[in-house]
Structure 1
């Protein structure tokens, strides 16, 4: 048995997988995000531990024999968060999360130093870790002086699980401190941010062992002693491992809190000016590219709250047959944007409303707006040398067949739907736990799922959505 632990933004999921990679059981526990000021997004790391413990306690109750047979654990987690620890490993302040954009000025200052794009292969985005530490230095100097270690969210869980300060390549690539081509910390980038290598965790590959589960937790949850904890992965790289998206040409589209167009690559292909992320993959000697929008299914959830309905009810009311592009246009920049605009101050809007506009029309506009932003991402990714033959769909928004057909049509790429199963980040983390515990070959483990369906682009709708996309782009420019 192998355990995957996925520390998401809205909850922790634990998943048990057997030797044949069949999901045996899973459990979840919720998390909440604090937004004390505009552009701020924080969580208390103590809540991550409490949620993980609650989910593991439930898993133990549901499948005690299976839990007792666990041989390896893999970790996945939300990326970029700055978890600041003192010399006694005590948390100094709430973790500043991936979608916190308060450090936009600090990010611009770091990005103006050519070394960051040259060495890290990426723009310094406000959501990345390095500018967060500069913000703390500028605004909370007493806290900054006490910083002994900086850990990413899942790596703080690892500290609790194993007692070690360790990270891995895919997550570390999103800090702006990693030499992504060389797969090591960059002293030059750390120094430019006021940091040192001593404040960084050790680095391992995602499929390599990073430590062993502490005896106290093994006893608490009924696990054997000496269970290996793998390096793991950032959430998108973990999802890619779960989906078998590990070879050049493999890709997926994620409709979660954020939206992602992900392409695996067999070489390092940086093009920072495109705002495409060029990161290490979770497997040795592999990389990937991502276009990232900050509001995808979260935009639908926001509108569902305004409309007083569930997201599922809104999308189900549209049916499965995609209608031509609507007269209403939605700009999905509810919390700024990354690819391709890199603008923390962008905001969302509906345009083209009339007396005849109702909830279905606004729902369609919202789905179309997010999809147009994903088309921006794919275009940027292709300009950076990446490509996808098809996109596997993953994330909560992937339950909407209407939305997936819309994505296939607007992006001009087949969208694949996996057969029933759980292939997300927790499953990918469990696969990494298997690799670390057994030394198996990644090619034998990281296979693609069986497909339920492939949605091809609806060519009869191409002209309509091309026109809608051009209107979307024009309005984006007009909005500044």
Structure 2
């Protein structure tokens, strides 16, 4: 059996996979995300370590001697500063953190060639901008740290005592050259960031160490189990869902939303709206449109309206498409694709006395769907030909919601029965790492066949006016906000 561990933003998941692809068991354990100041997002890595033990012990039960290897996946972009023994010197600063907004100027001052090779928009929440903030505001910790690690790489250090990273996580730091597939040494030098604390990069399926005695006792597993490097959560989920061939496109809706497609070449976005990362598979990359406010925005709206999720779907879909003139912008935490604006904010616009709570909820669902449509347009602008879309994540299960997505996005939607795709992808990497599977292609047949969930039903014209309102609203509000500050 193979054990995949996914270190998420709010919980650790463990999944036990038989070598024939059958999920034997899965479990999770949650931990808090702290926001000590507005715009901050932090976690205590010790909480991760404790939660991983709970999840692993739940999932393994009495099968510990049947586990043949472990691999990891984890949330991207975070920063853990650690000493030489792996002890964290500061709370982990997470992908949702926006404190480094003022540090974007340093990246914008890099020469065009250097910025281009980073392969990604210059945005907050990335490790590079976070490190610039730490250098300025926490200089003693910055100087004292021996290692700067991504969350799952810190976890692997606790498991093995060995320090490493792999391409899929490294490529999401704004410290990595996606063209040459190495750390961006020229960018580090120009930014005057330390390079001595960056870990060695190994392949995602490489054995990165073996379970230590301390870690084996903590997890209840045999000592010296091989620990495979693993992958960033999105890259692992792509493998877990069978996205190995270039050309397939997948939409994942969770707290945020990601639309990804696998590529055999590092194709850069000339507009800089989408991200380009290394995949978990050698010689592959993936283009990603990242929308920060998907399930996050819907959960916020549901909560302030006092609705259960059952009521959300019962009430919202009694309202006609277009919500009788009401439009919702979901940008509660700023937005990445396509606006790259950490200061963007949400709004309901067009409210009238005829609007009800159900209208507000329906408008929120449409607003999130429209934001995904903008993400797809940004993806298509990089040369992606979209004919169908695979759905993943817990935020795409409701049939009426699937139908709305199909009507807005104008493509057939397919679902699979894959659970905990990131942890499953990690488990598959464990199998590749110890030779159970020859390569990633050999795992595709282990993935359930996608089934058609929804095709466009409404005529495009029915939602066209609502779509136009949505497209125009962000630039109008941004212009008004800028003029207000200028006159302020």
Per the TM superposition, whether the score is higher than 0.5 is yes
2:482 matched residue in structure 1: none
Query: Aligned to 1:87, which of 76, 79, 84?
Result: 84
2:57 matched residue in structure 1: 57
Matched, 1:432 2:429: yes
Q: 1:322 to 1:16 in 2, by over 3 A?
A: farther
Deviates more, 1:350-359 or 1:230-239: 350-359
Q: Counterpart of 1:204 in 2: which secondary structure?
A: coil
Q: 1:212 to 1:316 in 2, by over 3 A?
A: farther
Task: After TM superposition, list the pairs within 5 Å mapping 1:249-398 onto structure 2.
Answer: 249-271=247-269, 273-318=271-316, 323-326=320-323, 327-398=325-396
Tell me, in whole angstroms, the C-alpha distance in 1 between the residues paired with 2:390 and 2:93.
30
Structure 1 position 316, deviation (Å):
4.4
Q: For structure 2, which runs of at least 5 residues remain unmatched after alignment?
A: 479-488
Q: Counterpart of 1:463 in 2: which secondary structure?
A: helix
2:28 matched residue in structure 1: 28
2:455 matched residue in structure 1: 456
Q: 1:288 to 1:28 in 2, by over 3 A?
A: same
Q: 1:287 to 1:312 in 2, by over 3 A?
A: farther
Q: 1:47 to 1:275 in 2, by over 3 A?
A: same
Tell me, in whole angstroms, the C-alpha distance in 1 between the residues paired with 2:87 and 2:211.
20
Q: Which runs of 4+ in 1 moved over 6 A?
A: none
Deviation per CA, 1:411-452: give whole Å up to 9, x if none. 12211111x341511111111111112252211113453234
Tell me, in whole angstroms, the C-alpha distance in 1 between the residues paired with 2:426 and 2:311.
31
Deviation per CA, 1:253-277: give whole Å up to 9, x if none. 1111111111111111111533200
Task: After TM superposition, list the pairs within 5 Å mapping 1:234-253 onto structure 2.
Answer: 234-253=232-251
Query: Aligned to 1:216, which of 214, 217, 226?
Result: 214
Deviation per CA, 1:355-413: give whole Å up to 9, x if none. 23222211111111111111111111111223333221111211222222222221122
Q: 1:9 to 1:272 in 2, by over 3 A?
A: farther
Deviation per CA, 1:182-209: give whole Å up to 9, x if none. 2211211222333333211111122222
User: Is the 1:77–1:234 Cα contact (8 Å) retained in structure 2?
Assistant: yes
TM-score for both structures, normalised by structure 2: 0.93
Tell me, in whole angstroms, the C-alpha distance in 2 between the residues paired with 1:12 and 1:446.
25
Deviates more, 1:271-280 or 1:236-245: 271-280
Tell me, in whole angstroms, the C-alpha distance in 2 between the residues paired with 1:253 and 1:115.
31
Q: For structure 1, which runs of at least 5 residues remain unmatched after alignment?
A: none
Deviates more, 1:51-60 or 1:25-34: 51-60
Matched, 1:37 2:37: yes
Q: 1:243 to 1:140 in 2, by over 3 A?
A: same
Q: Counterpart of 1:230 in 2: which secondary structure?
A: strand
Tell me, in whole angstroms, the C-alpha distance in 1 between the residues paired with 2:101 and 2:270.
17
Q: 1:338 to 1:218 in 2, by over 3 A?
A: same
Tell me, in whole angstroms, the C-alpha distance in 2 between the residues paired with 1:266 and 1:120.
18
TM-score for both structures, normalised by structure 1: 0.94
1:139 matched residue in structure 2: 137
Q: 1:90 to 1:457 in 2, by over 3 A?
A: same
Q: Counterpart of 2:196 in 1: which secondary structure?
A: helix
Q: 1:256 to 1:401 in 2, by over 3 A?
A: same
Deviation per CA, 1:211-252: give whole Å up to 9, x if none. 122233334444334322222111111111111112111111
1:422 matched residue in structure 2: 419
2:71 matched residue in structure 1: 74
User: Is the 1:68–1:222 Cα contact (8 Å) retained in structure 2?
Assistant: no
Tell me, in whole angstroms, the C-alpha distance in 2 between the residues paired with 1:429 and 1:249.
22
Deviates more, 1:151-160 or 1:352-361: 352-361
1:108 matched residue in structure 2: 105
Deviates more, 1:167-176 or 1:135-144: 135-144
Q: Counterpart of 1:381 in 2: which secondary structure?
A: helix
Q: 1:141 to 1:196 in 2, by over 3 A?
A: closer
Q: Counterpart of 1:202 in 2: which secondary structure?
A: coil
1:126 matched residue in structure 2: 124
Deviates more, 1:305-314 or 1:159-168: 305-314
Q: 1:140 to 1:196 in 2, by over 3 A?
A: closer
